[in-house]
Each structure stands twice: as structure tokens, then as C-alpha cells.
Amino acid sequence: MDFIRNFPLFTIVFSLFSGVLCMMLPGKAAKYYTAAYECLLIFFSASVLWYTSVTGTSFTYVMGEFPAPWGNEIRGGVLEALIALTFLIVMLCSAFAGWHFLVQDIDESKINLYFTLLNLLTAALMAMTWTNDIFTGYVFLEILTLTSCGLLIVREIGRTTLAAVRYMILNLLGSGLFLLGVVLLYDITGHLLMMNMQGAIAEISKDSRQMTTLTLSVGILTIGLAIKSGLFPFHFWMPDTYGWATPTSASVLSALVSKAYIFLLIKIYWRVIGIDVLDRMPIGKILCVLGMCGIIFGSVSAMRADNINRMTAFSSAAQIGYIYMGIGIGGMAGYTAAVFHILTHAVTKSLLFLSTPRLAEVSDGSLLFKKLQGSALRDRQAGAFFLVGSFSMIGIPIFAGFSSKLLFSLAAVDSGSNKKLILVMLVLAVSSLLNAMYFIRTIIRIYTHPQSAAAQALSSVTAGSAAAQGLAAGTAGSAAEVTSREKQRRASGLRRPDYIIPSLVLIAANLFLGLFSWAVVDLIERGFGMFF
């Protein structure tokens, strides 16, 4: 059974190998190979989760015979395994559910290159999840940035190129700040392994004169990852990045990439800085305020959007705010709520970004709200899946979003601060109201029959007018043609198991998080307990 300790390394090495192999395979072969090896990685991660849960202990895997900075370590624990498992499931579902649009948006000769980038991105996600060495985290953070830009620019239209350039510039700025923070911490502690750094920082923090330098180092590092993950006010790159990418890319970037940066930050706070030391810094309070601002401003921007993808992208900015608010609340309850929301957002936002292009496809290819009238009636599967994702984002009971908001409320109560409790409850109430307004408005629009507006207009015309009769006849003929096309599209949609099955998996994951949140919370708390 101890052989399972090798599995975290396998998830990284197999992903790197698969990235190289997919360059030599044709597009469809790369797709099916990626599916097969992703299933293998899911088995590896699930095995590590089972092993660490049963034994109640974590483990480290030393890569090489030398200590850091020449060698490095990866670490397996309940929390890392849970995050890795969720990331891999969402990655597999996103790759398959977006295949229909992938072959439309990307030149056939470059599809294998796309899966190469996807597999290298998976390797970076796994390395950042399992790493026990802060510099290894930085190395794969850069790989994650480069592959993310590749997933954007591979579509080769003007807007994606512009979005990729903007995304690259901001991410390089964030990477530079993160590296500067790592260098300062290495200069202070002389270590790169996380627990060794924590021991040195615990000694240094006893001298109040050293706290200023330590706070500056942690602050710079935090700003770098905040920029990369899209915390307010650094969220303005999200609409173009998510809105113009091919659906698989939008799902992966929104649901996984930004969350990997945040999870790395959480690991650094717990295993490098130490929660007791971090509580003596003002960083947590600043993150809490910025998270609240992100929730409100992201929700307001989503309400003002005229495009369903831009609305979903601004909603992502708001959800990032929730996670940082949980980190700012602090304590076991705050961090547990933040990690739970990482899982919630991963399975929910991917479902939304994979559904919206289907609704646009049956609406003359337009993502504008005015063109989406009745789109859920033309593609009932996509409409139902978008409905589930929307209910989760609003916070309807039984869905994951409700459990997330409940956990944030409990964390605020557990914080012991009346001021923090009032602010958090107020922000949750306002954000839930705003979420309901723009998601329910969208649901009503996509489920309203497009002919209802035409019927109202015709009823206002004089019944005896010959022109009106001709117009009605023409409208009826046109409606018959549209109905015929709708039936064909629905029939073709029923023959798309590569979209329906992954979407059902994401819905099942969402319902599991909503109905069995207590079990997931227990795993998260046990994972944090293993961090010490």
C-alpha cells in the first residue's frame, strides 16, 4: 500500500510525458489518449485521498538525494489529494464537453498542439498542488502562465490575441512580484522547503523589528498571486480572456487556473508563514476588504453586461472575491469555507462556460442576450445545464453554492468579531440578491419563447389590415422553417454524449458538494490539520 506514495509524482511526470506524446499524435488520437491518461490520474489522486484518509497521515516524497534548493519535495495529504482530484475531473469534463467547438475554433492541424498545451497545464496544476517546495511552485507557476496564454491564442482571432497579450502582461507582472517575494523570504530564512521556512520564520517573528521586512515579503508575494488570480481591482482582464476563448479554454482558465494560484497562496500561508504569524500582519484584513469589493463590483458588472459570456466572466470575479473574503476572515472556519468554494466554483463555473456556447449556437452564433431569446427551448440540454449552474451560483438549497455561502456565514460567526460578522452577512445578502437578479433575468430570457414578442406585436396591428395578414402569414412560414431547424439541432444535440455525459458528471459533483457538504468539510479540516 505504501506504493501509493509514488502517485503524486506520477501525476506530474505522466502529464509532462503526455504533453510531448500528443505532439506526435493526430488530433482525435490526442483527444482519446488525453482522456485515457486523465482517467489514470484521477485514479492516482483518488488513491492518495483514500490512503491519507485511512492512515490519517500525510507523506513527503523527496525527489533526489539533495535538500532544497538543489533537490525538492512533493507532499501528499488529504487536502492536496482532494484538490487534485477535483481539478482532474473538471479538466477531463472540460476537454470532452468542449470538443464540438474545439474542432470549429481551431485548425485541424493544431488540435494535437492544443492537447499538448492542455497536458502541460495539467502537469503545472498537479505540481503546484503537490509541491512542498516554494521554488518548485514558482517554476510550475510560470509553466501554467505560458500554457494558459497558449490555450487562449490558439483560436487565432483578433480578440483572443489581444486578450492573450493582456493576460500575459498581467501574469508576468504577478509572476515577477511572486518571485521577488520568494527571493526575499529565501534571503530571510535561507530555506526553500516549506516547513523549514516556517521554522525559521517562527524564530524571526519573535523579533518585532523583523516583522516589517517579513510583512513586506509576504505582501509582495500575495499581490503577485492576487493579480494572477483576478482579485479586485485586478479582475479587468477576465471578460475578454474568458469571453473570447474556446469553451474548453474558458472553462479551464476560470475553473482551474485561477484556483491553483489561490491554493498555492493558502499553502504558503499555512506551511511557510504560519497562521499565528500571519494573524499579526494586516494582510488578512486587506484581503477581506478587497474580496468584499470584488464580490460587489463583480456582481454589478455582471448585471450591466449585454453578453452572456461577459456576464459569466464578471461573475467569476465575484466568486474569486468570495474565496479571498474567506481567507481574510481567517481561522479554520474561514479557510475551510475558502477551499470549499474553490471546489464549488470549479465544478459550477465550468458547467456554465460549457453551456453558454451551446445556447449561442442555436441563436445565430450570438452571445448577446437579445439574440438568446428562447435558446434554452432550442437546446434543452444546454438550457437545463445552465439552469443548474445558475441555481448553484444564486445559492439555492441542495446545490453547492448554498453550502458555500452557509460556510462563509458560519466562519464570520466563528471569527468572534461583530464588525466582521455584520460586514460579511451584509455582503452575502447583497451579493445573493445581485446574483439572483442577473442569473434569473438570464434564465427567464433563454426560456421565453421568441415568438411571444412577435405575437404581441402582431396583436397590436389592425386585424382587418391586409398587410398585417401578409405579415402574419410570412411570420408563420418563417416560424415553421425555424422550428424545423430547431428540431434538427435538438436531434443532433441528443447525439452528443461527449457533451452530455461530462456535464452530468459536473452536475453530480455539484449536488454532492451541496448534499454532502459535511463530508467534504470534514476532509478539508483534516487536510488543514495535516499541514502542521
What is the average pLDDT value for the chain, to the nearest integer?
83
Q: Is 193 helix (H, G, I), strand (E, B) or coil?
A: strand
How much is the pTM?
0.87
Q: Residue 415 — φ and ψ, nearest 5°?
A: -65, -25
> Side chain identity at 482, as an amino acid letter?
V
Range 227-266 burial, b when 16+ CB lie within 10 A, else e: bbbbbbebbebbbbbbbbbbbbbbbbbbbbbbbbbbbbbb
Q: What is the mean pLDDT of residues 116-128?
A: 92
Residues above pLDDT 90, as percent of the chain:
28
Backbone region of residue 396 per phi and psi (left: phi > 0; alpha: psi in -120 to 50; beta: other values): beta
Residue 223 has pLDDT above 60, yes or no: yes
Which of 67-71, 142-146, 286-290, 483-487 is predicted least confidently? 483-487
User: pLDDT, tens digit, for every residue of 416-444?
Assistant: 778 888 888 898 888 888 888 888 888 98
Q: What confidence category does residue 338 fall into, taking pLDDT thresholds of 50, 70 and 90?
A: very high
Query: Is the model more confident about 70 or about 245?
Result: 245
DSSP 18-40: HHHHHTTS-HHHHHHHHHHHHHH
Q: What confidence category does residue 265 fall into, taking pLDDT thresholds of 50, 70 and 90?
A: very high
Q: What confidence category does residue 158 fall into, taking pLDDT thresholds of 50, 70 and 90?
A: low
Q: What confidence category does residue 208 fall into, taking pLDDT thresholds of 50, 70 and 90?
A: confident
Q: Which three cell numbers stand for residue 262?
A: 489561490
Give the separation between CA 377 and CA 373, rounded to whole angstroms: 9
* Whole-number pLDDT of residue 205: 81
DSSP class of residue 461 equals S
Q: What is the mean pLDDT of residues 303-309?
A: 84
Is residue 271 a contact partner of residue 291, using CB atoms and an 8 Å limit? Answer: no
* Whole-number pLDDT of residue 357: 87
> Side chain identity at 255, as an amino acid letter?
A
Q: What confidence category does residue 68 fall into, taking pLDDT thresholds of 50, 70 and 90?
A: low
Is residue 111 a contact partner of residue 102, using CB atoms and an 8 Å limit? Answer: yes
> Side chain identity at 462, as an amino acid letter?
T
Residue 136 has pLDDT above 80, yes or no: yes
Q: Which of 98-112, 114-128, 405-419, 444-458 has the highest mean pLDDT?
A: 114-128
Q: Which of 61-65, 118-122, 527-531 has the highest mean pLDDT?
A: 118-122
Q: Closest Cα partner for 314 from 285, 294, 291, 286?
A: 294
